[in-house]
Amino acid sequence: MTPPRFALVAYMNDAMNRFQKNRFFGLIVLVAMAVLFWAFFKILSPSNFGTGKLLVSYLQTSIQYAVGGCGLYFIVVMGLFDFSIGANIVLSSLVGVLLSRQFGYWGLVLGCLICGTLIGAFNGVLYSKLRIPSMIVTVGLMLVLESVANYVVALDTSGFPGKLTSPNILALNHAPWNYIVAGLAFLSVVFILRYTKIGTYCNAIGSNEYVAKNMGIDVEKYKFIGFVLLHFFVGVMALLTVSYGKGMQAVTGMSSMDRNFKPLMGTFFGIAFKKYGYPVTAIVIGEFIITMIFNGLVSLNVPTTINDFVTGAVLLIIVTLTNRGRIGSVVK
Amino acid sequence: MKKVGLLVLCVLLACSFVFANGQGEKSSAAAKKPLIGVSIWSSTDTLGSQCKLILDAAAKALDVDIMYVDQGHISEQVTASAETLSAAGCDGIIICNSASAEMTSVINTCTENKVYVAQFFRAINQKDNPNEYALALKSPYYVGTVHENEIDNGKNLVKILCDKGARKIALEAWEAGDATFLLRWQGYKAGIEAWNKEHPNDKAVLLDPQYGGTTSDTGRATAEAIINANPDIDALIVAGGGGDTLVGALAAIDSMGLKGKIKVVSTDFLADLDKQLATGGMAAESGGHYCDPLFAFMLVYNTIKGNYKTSTNSFYEINFPYLYVSSPEDYAAYAKYFVDDLPYNADELREMATLSVEDLTKKAASLSIQDVQSRRSGK
């Protein structure tokens, strides 16, 4: 007969295993993490952190990065990477701003989206044709796009190059339109990942490219589609970013690289929670948590340099806890 | 036969050396224009593009070739920019570095390559950076520096805010450790100290800085975080950063419905400053200093031409004045002579290039709206 103490332990283990297999487990963990961070800062800084109004403000800041993170998911899940996201944001934003001078919202929206998508197609073609690692191709493209952006900004003779100064073009600068655009982007990503073969094949290629190829998946084609989708959503991010900051600055010398990492942090959340079936939710909540940490530390008057340290450390801890390989597994 | 062939080849080779050399000297003497490199954080943002305008005008007027490298105020890119410009064959470089520590590498690079260098918007502080200062004194290729009095600028902006009734002032900077920001911050603190000394019963407080980078979206996110964390602030100083940080901060204040309630001051004039002043978006701004690099350019140009002598125990230092604008009327006068037009025309630029260092220093100190007004009206 099993002693009662061991029976309790076995029951607890069994219950935990069943809980982990629950389809909502990932979602519960994500929400619990967000609540945990909220509670931590709320206790330390009760008066100036985490009220309903402030949470909405944090969400507004984070959604643009979440849209980029969702786009990045399409290629990161296949084991690829793209360093030209920041440069695409800069160039697409500047093209959008330039066209908005003539065509108003149509120019801004279509300029950002079409330019972003075309860059994606260009990246995809170069990656497939040159047959060199995506990191190398996209570093080269980053330099090219930054340079082109400087020529585009020179074409803007409005007196406010790269800036959205007219209040008639700033609907995406605030609620509800920024939420509507971001919401549509999230729903599109969920739809593509869950209900189209693009999502299935992307995951299959990411799991094992050779097996996927042997199964008859046209790997090159789906990698190309991955780049196009990534940069379409980067175009959406550019639209939200240029509206949010009321302008964009052309940069050179790889300075656009900074813009790659905030969406990437969200993508890491998505990859970590992929096994639970909620990558998009994980990206959105992940970006929200990162923004909340930033605001929490500012509310405690912590310098931004320490802020970066804490954000990086938290990201590493979360991804390690949720996505750590088993002992002996090969980590690439 | 082989020997004859070899002989002919040798003669041809020798002739080609002789004639190519002669021709090269001739053509280079005829076509050689001075090449001056500009290492700048960005030649496309609000302030950077204005600097480029006046530098391009000076280069055109003086028949000088000019080359820009944007280094984003990232230390390794700042030092690399000096190497790039030296390798590109520049005769002189003007540079806006980020931290003074970078100047060790910059000065050494320029000395090794025999390229003259002058700083703009920046100066090496003898007390804080004694080694860099000593190196600058010692190098015959370090021409000098043109800079503003950033401490006074900081003090003046704080005084304007306190006079306008602000008592809790937040601070948004762009990059931790930036030499100019550190000086401005010193000025803000000195301004608060001076105000509190004079008004012991009505003290003002300055919050610690948060860093919003040099882009408008990061500027907005940081300003929102600052305001969310300190809802009772009545003023925000956006320390600078080329103008885009301020654009973002103003967008944050606007979207939070706090326009006019939070008084904003900054350095680096915005293109739409008149509208911002008229609508209460900005309380005051110091700036108009985009001609600072012009004087650094003149220092280097004249040194290349041999008109200014460098030494191994000193360098030239030019103080450049800030303009302060706190009303739409102030800005209208500024816009007429500094935005719609350049404060110096081609003839004036050519004349400036003939001045002695002492006169050039006086010329820099005298630049103001009234100065341009009097020159344009022929007084």
B338 part of contact set with chain A, CB < 8 Å? no
Mean pLDDT confidence for B139-149: 94
Tokens, residue B288: 């108009």
How far off is chain A from B295, nearest CA to CA, in Å? 25
Query: Quick check: B285 and B267 in contact, CB under 8 A?
Result: yes
Q: How far apart are CA B144 and CA B120, in angstroms?
A: 9
- The pLDDT of residue B340 is above 90: no
A305:B176 CB<8 A: yes
Q: Torsion angle of alpha carbons A211, A216, A220, A226, nearest 10°?
A: -80
Q: Number of CB pairs < 8 Å for A and B?
A: 114
Q: Residue A250 to residues A28, A86, A99, B241, B329: CA-CA distances in angstroms?
A: 41, 11, 16, 14, 31
Q: What is the pLDDT of residue B299?
A: 97
- What are all long-range contacts of A120-123, with beta carbons under 8 Å and residues at least 24 apart? A120/A88, A120/A227, A120/A228, A120/A229, A120/A230, A120/A231, A120/A232, A120/A234, A121/A224, A121/A227, A121/A228, A121/A231, A123/A82, A123/A84, A123/A227, A123/A231
A251:B176 CB<8 A: no
B224:A57 CB<8 A: yes
How far off is chain B from A62, nearest CA to CA, in Å? 9
pTM reported for the whole predicted model: 0.79
Q: What is the pLDDT of residue B23?
A: 43
Q: What angle do CA B193, B196, B199 make, to 5 degrees?
A: 150
Residue among A64, A252, A307 with most chain B CBs within 10 A, to mutate: A252
Query: Quick check: A90 and A250 in contact, CB under 8 A?
Result: yes
Give burial (CB, 10 Å; 0-12/13-18/19+) of A310. Answer: middle
A42 part of contact set with chain B, CB < 8 Å? no
Determine how many CB atoms are found less than 10 A away from the CB of residue B149.
16
How far off is chain A from B21, nearest CA to CA, in Å? 37
DSSP-derived 3-state class of residue B235: strand
Query: Which residues is B171 bridged to in the sheet?
Result: B209, B237
Q: What is the pLDDT of residue A2?
A: 60
| Tens digit of pLDDT at every position of chain A (332 positions) | 566 677 888 888 887 777 777 778 888 999 999 999 999 999 999 988 989 999 999 999 999 999 999 999 999 999 898 999 999 999 999 999 999 999 999 999 999 999 999 999 999 999 888 888 888 889 999 999 999 998 998 898 887 888 898 888 999 988 899 999 999 999 999 999 999 999 999 999 988 888 999 999 999 999 999 999 999 999 999 999 999 999 998 887 788 888 998 899 899 899 988 888 889 999 999 999 999 998 998 898 887 677 778 777 877 787 677 666 666 665 55
Q: What is the pLDDT of residue A274?
A: 87
HSE at residue A67, side-chain half, CA atoms within 13 A, is 27
B271 or B149: which leads in pLDDT: B149
Q: Write out A28-62 in H/E/C secondary structure.
A: HHHHHHHHHHHHHHHHHCCCCCCCHHHHHHHHHHH
Residues of A in contact with B74 (CB under 8 A): 253, 255
B271:A301 CB<8 A: no
B213 part of contact set with chain A, CB < 8 Å? yes
Q: How far apart are CA A60 and CA A141, in angstroms?
A: 30
How far off is chain A from B41, nearest CA to CA, in Å? 9
What is the b/e burial string over A191-203, where b = at least 16 CB atoms within 10 angstroms of the residue's CB? ebbeeeebbebbe
Query: Quick check: B143 and B303 in contact, CB under 8 A?
Result: yes
B248 part of contact set with chain A, CB < 8 Å? yes
Mean pLDDT confidence for B336-340: 87
Q: How far apart are CA A152 and CA B114, in angstroms?
A: 36
Considering chain B, what is the average pLDDT of its residues? 88
Q: Residue A312 to residues A275, A293, B85, B219: CA-CA distances in angstroms?
A: 23, 11, 36, 20
A48:B213 CB<8 A: no
Query: Quick check: B319 and B121 in contact, CB under 8 A?
Result: no
Query: Quick check: B363 and B352 in contact, CB under 8 A?
Result: yes
Cross-chain CB nearest to A304 (options B210, B219, B248)? B210
Which of these, B353, B292, B280, B355, lies nearest to B321 by C-alpha position? B292
Q: Tell me phi and psi for residue B258, to 5 degrees.
A: -110, 15
Confidence of residue B19 (pLDDT cuts 50, 70, 90): very low
Alpha helix stretches (DSSP H) within chain B:
2-31, 46-62, 75-87, 102-113, 130-138, 150-163, 179-198, 216-229, 244-255, 273-279, 292-304, 328-334, 346-352, 357-365, 369-376
Determine how many CB atoms are found less than 10 A away from the CB of residue B249.
31
Query: Quick check: B325 and B158 in contact, CB under 8 A?
Result: no
Q: How far apart are CA A86 and CA B309, in angstroms?
A: 46
Residue A263 makes CB contacts below 8 A (sequence gap 6+) with A65, A66, A67, A68, A69, A71, A72, A85, A237, A287
Query: Quick check: B234 and B263 in contact, CB under 8 A?
Result: yes
How far off is chain A from B361, nearest CA to CA, in Å? 31
Q: What is the pLDDT of residue A258?
A: 84
Q: Tell me phi and psi for residue A80, to 5 degrees.
A: -105, 170
Residues of A in contact with B226 (CB under 8 A): 298
Q: Quickly list DSSP for B245-303.
A: HHHHHHHHHHHTT-BTTBEEEEES--TTHHHHHHHTS-SEEEE--TTHHHHHHHHHHHH
A48:B228 CB<8 A: yes
Query: Quick check: A42 and A50 in contact, CB under 8 A?
Result: yes
Q: How far apart are CA A107 and CA A120, in angstroms?
A: 19
Q: Which residue of B has its CA nearest to A64?
A: B217
Q: Which residue of A has its CA nearest to B221?
A: A61
Q: Quickly list DSSP for B27-76.
A: HHHHH---EEEEEES-SSSHHHHHHHHHHHHHHHHHT-EEEEEE-TT-HH
DSSP-derived 3-state class of residue B169: strand
B217:A245 CB<8 A: yes
The helix, strand and coil proportions of chain A, stated in percent and rounded to the nearest 5, come to: 80, 0, 20
Q: How far apart are CA A104 and CA A297, in angstroms?
A: 39
Confidence of residue B90 (pLDDT cuts 50, 70, 90): very high
B370 or B224: which leads in pLDDT: B224
How far off is chain B from A52, nearest CA to CA, in Å? 12
Query: Quick check: B194 and A287 in contact, CB under 8 A?
Result: no
Query: Quick check: A163 and A97 in contact, CB under 8 A?
Result: yes
Residue among B85, B169, B215 with most chain A CBs within 10 A, to mutate: B215
B175 part of contact set with chain A, CB < 8 Å? no
Least confident of B1-10, B56-65, B271-280, B331-340: B1-10
Cross-chain CB nearest to B247 (options A247, A299, A304)? A247
Q: What is the pLDDT of residue B9?
A: 54
Q: What is the pLDDT of residue B327?
A: 84
Q: What is the pLDDT of residue B334?
A: 87
Residue with tokens 């050179």: A252
Residues of A in contact with B72 (CB under 8 A): 251-253, 255
How far off is chain B from A236, nearest CA to CA, in Å? 15
Q: What angle do CA B38, A141, A232 make, to 5 degrees?
A: 120
Q: How far apart are CA A36 and CA A30, in angstroms?
A: 10
B178 part of contact set with chain A, CB < 8 Å? no
pLDDT digits (tens, 9 = 90+) for B145-198: 999 888 999 999 999 999 999 999 999 998 888 878 999 999 999 999 999 999
How far off is chain B from A249, nearest CA to CA, in Å? 6
Q: How far apart are CA B125 and CA A68, in angstroms?
A: 43
Q: How far apart are CA B260 and CA B277, in angstroms?
A: 10
Q: What is the pLDDT of residue A308?
A: 73
Q: What is the DSSP-derived secondary structure letter of residue A185? A: H
Determine how many CB atoms are found less than 10 A away from the CB of residue B127.
6
B217 part of contact set with chain A, CB < 8 Å? yes
Q: What is the pLDDT of residue A133?
A: 86
Q: How far apart are CA B174 and CA A191, in angstroms?
A: 40
A93 part of contact set with chain B, CB < 8 Å? no
